[in-house]
Structure 1
Amino acid sequence: MTGIASAPVDRLGIRLRPVGPGVDPTVLLGLALRRNPRRAQLLVSRVLGKHVPADPRLVRAAGLLLGGLVADALAGRPARPLPAQTLHAAVRGDRSAAAALHTDAERAIAAASNTLVIGFAETATALGHCVAEGLGGATYLHSTRRRVPGFAVAGGFTEEHSHATDHLLLPADSALLRAGRPLVLVDDELSTGRTALNTITALHRTAPRERYVVAALVDVRPPGSDLVDAVAALGARLDVVALAQAAIELPADLAERAAALRAELGDGTTPRTAPNGPASRVALSELGWPVGLPVGARHGVGPDHHRRLAAALPYVAAGLARAARLDAGQRILVLGTEELMHLPLRLAQTLADAGHDVAFSSTTRSPAVVVDSPGYALTSGIAFPAHDDPADGPGPRFAYNVGGAHDPPWDHVLVVVDPPGDTPALRTGLLPALTPHARRTSVVVTP
């Protein structure tokens, strides 16, 4: 596989190649093997902050850059040039490049846009939020797989290839979806376009509009994709934007190859192996979190929420650093939990801006094969039970690349949860699983 070679990857026979100049998708992506019969390959983003810990400034900058491309599409102007070399350097670990990329991306934030942005759970909840920020603070809602008492389901759709297919839309105000303003759908990867088309079709049936944009970090749709034509048949216009375009070649016997590899390799994740030491607990509500400010966009956020969050982050992050006793020179991981990604990302990014050595990642539902092999995207992983009483029942959860056998432990891991995730199961599952990989662990609880 061009740019991402390893023995397991070679045996799968998958080839990924760039399409056109600009950002190189083989820099942005690694490859792993799913434990999912619906789709064998897992394209692992190095700029998403989901499966691979990354500099939080890089993760946010990628979302802001994508928001800029959306702004260009909505305005009908040519797409702006992307800082490919700086982005590549940041992905490869250059922290000064990550800082410069983020600073420049913030400076280029578009003027306020009367647009609705929807991000897909779980992987694109933070990415969609950053796209909305890149549009000058557009209204933002992400789908969810958690039913919430008191919030009616205003819409839903399916993701055929996923291990967990049901997405719900739970806006606090159902009128959010009915306005005719442009709608932007954000996902980390655009592989076939079926999820986007399912969503547009479902929403257009009850709330038709003239303009749609689909935005993804990487577009790997096969030639002849009819996504744009399918939306045109509904009577609407669709634009598609991405940081990078790629072509992916899959062997005809991929399913058989993948099944053989899964059987040979197992999953490679390690369960919790030791009781964890006492983890400190920090409540953001005690650090001056603004009253009434949502901690995420499960029920929707608007321009005022974006402004209030930006104003609150410096003093909340400074309070967190004091309360958790974060020291200069410590190697810190901020770990979001499933759909709760954006606030952990922004806390990590603000700590990095203040000079801390911070990486950001998050837990996931995605079952994948872990192989400690050079070039393979998921070289380590931990498994633990769900800890937030999910509506679809208990099940395993995972965190990848948080620490392998040859990696030094993090000096401090900050696990960010909301109240439904702050449970005894957290302390008997995820926290013990992190014990071999962290000298200290703190649980950060949102309001």
Structure 2
Amino acid sequence: MESQSLTKRKTFDTHLAYVVKGSSVMNAVPVEECSFAEYSQQQLMHLAKRFHNTKRTYLLVDPLQGKHIPVSPRDCLTMLRTLGGRLQAEFPETKLVVGFAETATAIGAVVAECMGVGCSYITTTREEVPEVSSWIEFQEEHSHATEQKLSADGFAAALEKTETVIFVDDELSTGKTLVNMLEQLKQSFPQLNEKRVVAASIINRMSDENIMRLADRGMICRELLKIDNIDYTETVNKFAITGASDLPANDLDDDCIKSAYLIKDECGRSPRTGVVIGEYINDVLARHGFITSADSTMLPAGRDIVVIGTEECMYAGLLIAEQLEQSGNYDSVKFHATTRSPIGICTDDDYPIFNGYKLQSFYEKGRQTYLYDLARYDSAVIVTDSAPDNMEAVTELEALLRHYGCREIIVERI
């Protein structure tokens, strides 16, 4: 079933920032072909209640972002490429984009995609990355997990090649996270003072005073939607929430499960250490195109498909979901991702999160993650860049998807 709280949305033409030919990204689409759609607050912001978070009781949930709520890849990427197209039109010289974990990793990647195939892209992370020896660490406001870090080596290599750096988050409310990060970066990279620095977001709730505070530090703000910085604490207090559920008992006959595949592949490039976005897209589509190809038998046609990313790993799954949707072989394709964020569950019509389940993290044994608004699907593709040794996490998510009717489950390692 689908959430009753989701409003009907207008469909916009997708701006493709690259051309795929033989699983290769050929070149950027001219900026004049971008779709500069306008989005309303109703389209981009639903209010949810955080579960046991005393820093801020409410959470802004974007139904088009592809994180907490399942979304058509087309609708998600149209919105993200609209932001990217606007930034590309104003800052075409940009060769470095930084995305914030965990919710903005795909947003930042799409912005980099819109800048052209040669743009470097790097994300902050909360994960352990053994190949990185030097980190820039900073604190994130409001989050349940405040510590973030950025690979110093990856950032340094890309910084040399650009005159403009774009930092991308899903929401800017006070700008404290950006200030914290910028101060840390400038201590290690004083040459950043000579660069143009842009803070980009889907939603900007900052006051004029806070925008000026960032401007005084040399940072320009750009967004898809500017709204007032309202405290929604009282608004969400009306919702009687519960926590996410434990995994349901497996009540399906195993004979009804046609097949489950586990694709074990060597890990490729990682945005946590820095990638050239065109090479990364090529890598994803070339190594995993056998699922989305026209003659693939792994996902039977005429099915309802869900593609699920894992925590910080979202963009690769979104690309694969887009290819599946564009094939026209399936009744529907949706995309969303697991998350560290504990969100309250409520079945009220005007509340966006109507179910949720606790799952073991793909990245750290014993760490709890969540999957929200799960519906019934015929087939599922799980896209992750986690190490292959945490089979308990795979087994848990596979069991949950089987409970919701999935007959084919593919696990892809990027």
C-alpha distance in 2, partners of 1:320/1:50?
Answer: 27
Residue in 1 aligned with 2:289? 315
Residue in 1 aligned with 2:70? 53
* Correspondent of 1:189 among 146, 151, 171: 171
Residue in 1 aligned with 2:15? none
C-alpha distance in 2, partners of 1:61/1:293?
Answer: 26
Residue in 2 aligned with 1:298? 272
CA-to-partner distance for each residue in 1:323-355, whole Å, 9 max, x for gaps?
A: 5x2122200000111011011110000111111
Residue in 1 aligned with 2:391? 424
C-alpha distance in 2, partners of 1:50/1:254?
Answer: 25
Residue in 2 aligned with 1:26? 42
| Residues 197 and 227, structure 1, Cα contact 8 Å, conserved in 2 | no
Following superposition, the deviation at residue 225 of structure 1 comes to 3.3
Q: Which runs of 5+ in 2 are unaligned?
A: 7-36
C-alpha distance in 1, partners of 2:312/2:294?
Answer: 21
Is residue 2:358 matched to residue 1:383?
yes
| Residues 94 and 165, structure 2, Cα contact 8 Å, conserved in 1 | no
Residue in 2 aligned with 1:329? 302
Cα 1:431–1:299, aligned 2, differ >3 Å: closer, same or farther? same
Is residue 2:59 matched to residue 1:42?
yes
Q: Which runs of 5+ in 1 are unaligned?
A: 7-20, 76-112, 286-290, 404-408
Residue in 2 aligned with 1:438? 405
Residue in 1 aligned with 2:311? 338
| Residues 133 and 306, structure 1, Cα contact 8 Å, conserved in 2 | no
* Correspondent of 2:199 among 214, 221, 238: 214
CA-to-partner distance for each residue in 1:353-400, whole Å, 9 max, x for gaps?
A: 11132100000010011111112111111112223226xxx3321111
| Residues 356 and 372, structure 2, Cα contact 8 Å, conserved in 1 | yes
Alpha-carbon RMSD: 2.9
* Correspondent of 2:185 among 188, 195, 203: 203
C-alpha distance in 2, partners of 1:174/1:128?
Answer: 14
Cα 1:427–1:444, aligned 2, differ >3 Å: closer, same or farther? closer
Which TM-score applies when normalising by structure 1? 0.74
Residue in 2 aligned with 1:225? 209
| Residues 333 and 412, structure 1, Cα contact 8 Å, conserved in 2 | yes
The share of aligned pairs that are identical, in percent, is 27
Cα 1:224–1:334, aligned 2, differ >3 Å: closer, same or farther? same
Richer in helix (by share)? 1
Q: What is the aligned length?
A: 368
Is residue 2:345 matched to residue 1:373?
no
| Residues 154 and 174, structure 1, Cα contact 8 Å, conserved in 2 | no
Specify the SS of the correspondent of 1:227: helix
Which TM-score applies when normalising by structure 2? 0.80
Cα 1:304–1:73, aligned 2, differ >3 Å: closer, same or farther? closer
Letter in 1 for 2:41: P
Counterpart mapping for 1:17-416 below 5 A? 22-35=38-51, 36-74=53-91, 113-137=93-117, 138-170=119-151, 173=154, 175-176=156-157, 178-179=159-160, 181-207=163-189, 208-209=192-193, 210-221=195-206, 223-232=207-216, 234=217, 236=218, 238-250=219-231, 254=234, 258=237, 265-267=241-243, 269-275=244-250, 277=254, 280-283=260-263, 285=265, 293-294=268-269, 296-306=270-280, 308-309=282-283, 312=286, 315-318=289-292, 322=296, 325-355=298-328, 356=330, 357-389=332-364, 394-403=366-375, 409-416=376-383
CA-to-partner distance for each residue in 1:198-233, whole Å, 9 max, x for gaps?
A: 122211222223311111111122x3332343442x
Specify the SS of the correspondent of 1:429: helix
Cα 1:320–1:395, aligned 2, differ >3 Å: closer, same or farther? farther
C-alpha distance in 1, partners of 2:5/2:407?
Answer: 35
C-alpha distance in 1, partners of 2:321/2:260?
Answer: 18
| Residues 332 and 411, structure 1, Cα contact 8 Å, conserved in 2 | yes
| Residues 284 and 320, structure 1, Cα contact 8 Å, conserved in 2 | no
